[in-house]
Amino acid sequence: MESTVWLASRSLPRPGVGCCNLLSRVRRSGGRLKPCGNGRKVVVCVSGTEGKTKVVIVGGGVGGLAVGGRLAKEGYDVHILEKNSHVGGRLQSLEVEAAVGVGGKSDDPGGQECFRFDTGPSLLLLPQKYRDAFTAMGEDMDDYVTLKKVEPAAYRVFFGEDEGVQSLDLLYDVQKMCLQLEQVEEGAGGAFLRFLANAKEALDKGTASFIERDFKSFWDYADVPRLLPLLKHLSPIELLGQHHSTMRNYFKNPKLQAMFTFQDLYVGLTPYNAPGVFSLLAATELTDGVWYPVGGFAKVRDGLAQAAQKVGATITTKATVKRIDHANGQVQGVTLEDGTFMRANIVVANADLPYVYNSLLGSKVKTQASKLLSSKYSASDDKQIVEAARERVISSLVRSGIGDISSMILSEVVYSPPTWQDSYNLQYGAAFGLAHNLLQLAYFRPDVAEPSIKGLYFAGASTRPGNGVPLVLMGAKVTTNRILEENYPFLSGN
């Protein structure tokens, strides 16, 4: 079950609201195009504005904006089409006015206050990946967004139990962290150091080997010499075994086991169905830190959109794509709901991948479309249990010692699976898209291109590498590089 409930309890200030590198390289090379190394026929497309290759991007989520900005910087004629009245997709900040009065009760006489909720991402991890996205467009992220580290503790974990330790802090200071853990379990400080070393290894080597890497064939994935550095430090059981079980190698106390595995929920998993490699989530929190964008995540959204526009991408909102047109194994463009046809040499679908296959591509890709429908999804469920979930959230806060907040709620917004489905076309309303179980990770996650339709590429949470803003940003780089390589093979030497 996944529904999202925001309960306002404090007020926030109201937020304020290329050059043609590629073409010059084409000219330098004399415009010669050779077949790709994988034997595919080269897609030669120079029919957009001023002879540029025309790219249409379906969806202005993080993935669409990041690919759009990168391609525009490379000299493509990029058009981002977004069905909603604003870009950003799941990444949004919502402002609401609520009555406040004496004692914070909404029914007391008093003025109005503005509250801001980040309705999607609120935890900013791997800040360098955000920075990289701006740099790739030739921009400096600091000109658009200010990031602040959450410190001295990343957060406090409440266990909601009557006995034993009630809460623990996720501290960046390793010494203080060890001391804190030793008070819960003898030897836990040393175990934490072992855990951190291994988790950091999974983060560094795992990111390079599985997350930022493009897999064009199974052999790219099962490339033993590349995997050796990772396997030298971590056993396959530690990487691929059940996360909850692997954590028993470090801590006996279930609360300590939970402290370093609950992060699996960031990718829609639990420690009981996530592989151990997801210790990399705790590792990045402990080493790179937990951050937040000043003014809310809308600043990231607006920054990405402005940077993409600055390098030449156009963005059209309230433009719903009804169909991705293709014929004879070649993409042709898109048709909008109002019947407008937009010709394109390349289409990048950023909308949720199972929706793209099932609603935008027609019957030619029926097998992949039905395979995606029966894949595993991150949690979502019927709206009947939304109310029960809300009660559970409130009672957990009571149990964890935070207190009964029900009488203090000034403003309340509930997003349930139908909200996610209607707002962003997320298949089954699954807020995190396709799940991240072992059979849907890395090479086994849907590829960033559809092999039977040349010129059709994907970007976003349900394609590789997966869900979460930094992952989608890393995926945007993989997709962009694939497009550059396949459409201009002379650049990569193929």
Ligand X SMILES: Cc1cc2nc3c(=O)[nH]c(=O)nc-3n(C[C@H](O)[C@H](O)[C@H](O)COP(=O)(O)OP(=O)(O)OC[C@H]3O[C@@H](n4cnc5c(N)ncnc54)[C@H](O)[C@@H]3O)c2cc1C
Interface ranges with ligand X (CB under 6 A): 4, 58-64, 81-84, 89-91, 120-123, 320-321, 350-352, 424-425, 431, 460-461, 467-470, 472
Rounded to whole angstroms, the Cα distance separating 141 from 49 reads 28
Rounded to whole angstroms, the Cα distance separating 188 from 195 reads 10
Query: 350 vs 487, which CB is nearer to ligand X?
Result: 350
Short-list 174, 169, 166, 165, CA closest to 199:
174
Query: 58 vs 171, which CB is nearer to ligand X?
Result: 58
Residue 74, token pair as written in the block: 């490379």
Query: 261 vs 284, which CB is nearer to ligand X?
Result: 284
Query: 307 vs 461, which CB is nearer to ligand X?
Result: 461
Q: What is the largest CA-CA distance in the chain?
A: 75
| CB of 378 vs ligand X, minimal distance in Å | 9
Neighbours of 378 (CB within 10 A): 23
Q: State the residue for tokens 């330098």.
A: 28
Residue 479 near residue 488 (C-beta atoms within 8 A)? no
| CB of 231 vs ligand X, minimal distance in Å | 28
Strands (E), 174-303: 291-293
Query: 270 vs 492, which CB is nearer to ligand X?
Result: 270
Query: 81 vs 199, which CB is nearer to ligand X?
Result: 81
| CB of 360 vs ligand X, minimal distance in Å | 6
| CB of 210 vs ligand X, minimal distance in Å | 17
In three-state secondary structure terms, 193 is helix
| CB of 155 vs ligand X, minimal distance in Å | 12
Rounded to whole angstroms, the Cα distance separating 458 from 43 reads 17
| CB of 34 vs ligand X, minimal distance in Å | 33
The partner residues of 153 in beta bridges, in order of sequence, read 171
Checking phi first, is residue 456 left (phi over 0); if not, alpha (psi -120 to 50) or beta? beta
| CB of 119 vs ligand X, minimal distance in Å | 7
Query: 230 vs 469, which CB is nearer to ligand X?
Result: 469
Query: 53 vs 419, which CB is nearer to ligand X?
Result: 419
In three-state secondary structure terms, 325 is strand
Rounded to whole angstroms, the Cα distance separating 269 from 467 reads 11
| CB of 178 vs ligand X, minimal distance in Å | 27
The DSSP result for 127-169, as a single string, is HHHHHHHHHHTT--GGGT--EEE--SEEEEEE---SSS--EEE
